[in-house]
Structure formats: structure tokens, C-alpha cells
């Protein structure tokens, strides 16, 4: 695997889904500039933010089928057990759930948490509550993936729309074979991802911890690492 160099880490790639928005933002900036020149610079600033929002940086994912990695950049807001959404078809018993909140400045390209096959994908219409609230997992618009992992376990990945998010885009279909850290979708513009782990698997992240999609380890399916403790410094 190629290691990202200095220039590629500064000149971040932009996901193709973002270019139409960048073009619209820039066109609006030009039109506003005809009305009043300072508005052009404000529009240009908004265009730069749009480029930043749709960035899609390279990530280095651990090559270990036992590890579950983060699907999103953001902050861990829960590691407690929850009953999975019914469309995930993971049963009605509570499962360990890691919830990650993405604000409008985080990378919004989401990645698969594990090596496996997309056994089921479902869309659920809903509200657009603040995605940092736990009730958003039940009430908001969402898209769910059930993944049969290479180790024979099942995990759930749920993309949840947020307060200003209005579109969830999937990149993969049912039956797709996924490598860990592979891109599976994108949410516009502020949202959350929940990962439902198999029963008995302990999360290895803490509430308040920042995660990187495709890199931060959320859990070990085989329990080779103890549950972590930590503190804010």
C-alpha cells in the first residue's frame, strides 16, 4: 500500500459526489460578485468550505479480520447497549453499540467497519433531529447495512441523517464483498454512524474519543483486548 506523502496530505482529494455542489457554490459566488464585490469573497469562502466538506482523504486500515474499525470521522457519543433498528434484522435483544457523531467539519465519507459481505441493506424515512442525541438513532432518517464478517459474525452499520442532513448516499449494494475500510456511503451535511457489535464484544473506544474512519479500532471480535478505561486530559 502506498503511504500518503506530504503533498497528498495537504492537497486532499475531493469525493466526486461533491463536485456538483462545489460548482454551484462557485457559480453563486460569481453571481453575487456582480452585485457587490465583497459578496464574491464570501461566496468563495463558502466554496472553499464545500471543498473541505467533501474531502476524501486516504486512510490506512489494519489488515486483521478480527478488528472492527470506525466507519466515520467524529466523536464517540455512546458505547452502551441498544436494541438495533428492526430493518437490520439483528434481533430484538440489546447489542453493544458505538455511536459516532460527525459535525459539519468532519469527513463525511463513511467506510465499512469490517471485512465481509453486505447481507442486507435498508432505508428508513424519518425525522432530522440533532444526531448527537441518542433518540436520533430511533427517530431519524437512516440507512442500514447488515454485514456478514469474514470471521462469521454479524455486525450492523447505520448511517443516520442529522439536523441539517437531507441526503444519505450509498456506494454499495446487497451482496457486495467489502474490504475493511472500504467506502460505503456519504451523508450530507452533519450526521451520525452507529455500529452494532455482536453480543459479548466489548467496545475499545471511550465516550468523547475522536475517531478516524477506516483507522480507529472500535472492537476486537475475538476479545483479544480488554475493555479500555480512560480519562479526559
Residue 24 in any domain: the answer is: yes
Residue 76 in any domain: the answer is: yes
Mean of pLDDT over the chain: 85
Indicate which residues carry an active-site annotation: 191
- 93 and 160 both lie in a single domain: yes
Residue 225 in any domain: the answer is: no
67 band by pLDDT with thresholds 50, 70 and 90: very high
- 156 and 203 both lie in a single domain: yes
- 138 and 79 both lie in a single domain: yes
Average confidence (pLDDT) over 28-36: 88
Q: Please say whether the beta carbons of 113 and 180 come within 8 A.
A: yes
The model's pTM is 0.84
- 115 and 162 both lie in a single domain: yes
Grid cell, residue 15, equals 469525493
Q: What angle do CA 20, 26, 27 make, to 5 degrees?
A: 90
What domain range is 123 assigned to? 67-220
Residue 233 in any domain: the answer is: no
Amino acid at each position: 500500500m502506498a503511504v500518503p506523502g506530504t503533498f497528498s496530505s495537504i492537497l486532499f482529494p475531493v469525493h466526486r459526489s461533491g463536485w456538483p455542489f462545489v460548482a454551484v457554490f462557485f457559480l453563486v459566488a460569481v453571481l453575487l460578485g456582480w452585485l457587490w464585490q465583497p459578496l464574491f469573497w464570501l461566496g468563495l469562502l463558502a466554496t472553499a468550505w464545500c471543498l473541505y466538506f467533501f474531502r476524501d482523504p486516504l486512510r490506512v486500515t489494519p489488515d486483521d479480520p478480527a478488528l472492527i474499525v470506525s466507519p466515520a470521522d467524529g466523536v464517540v457519543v455512546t458505547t452502551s447497549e441498544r436494541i438495533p433498528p428492526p430493518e437490520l434484522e439483528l434481533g430484538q435483544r440489546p447489542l453493544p453499540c458505538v455511536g459516532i457523531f460527525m459535525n459539519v467539519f468532519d469527513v463525511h465519507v463513511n467506510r465499512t467497519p469490517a471485512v465481509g459481505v453486505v447481507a442486507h441493506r435498508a432505508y428508513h424515512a424519518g425525522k432530522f433531529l440533532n444526531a448527537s442525541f441518542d433518540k436520533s438513532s430511533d427517530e431519524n432518517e437512516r440507512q442500514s447495512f447488515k454485514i456478514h464478517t469474514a470471521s462469521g459474525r454479524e455486525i450492523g452499520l447505520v448511517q443516520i441523517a442529522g439536523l441539517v442532513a437531507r441526503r444519505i448516499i450509498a456506494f454499495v449494494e446487497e451482496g457486495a464483498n467489502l474490504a475493511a475500510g472500504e467506502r460505503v456511503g456519504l451523508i450530507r451535511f452533519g450526521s451520525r454512524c452507529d455500529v452494532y457489535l455482536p453480543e459479548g464484544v466489548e467496545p475499545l473506544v471511550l465516550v468523547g474519543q475522536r475517531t478516524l474512519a477506516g483507522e480507529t479500532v472500535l472492537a476486537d471480535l475475538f476479545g483479544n483486548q480488554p475493555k479500555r478505561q480512560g480519562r479526559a486530559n
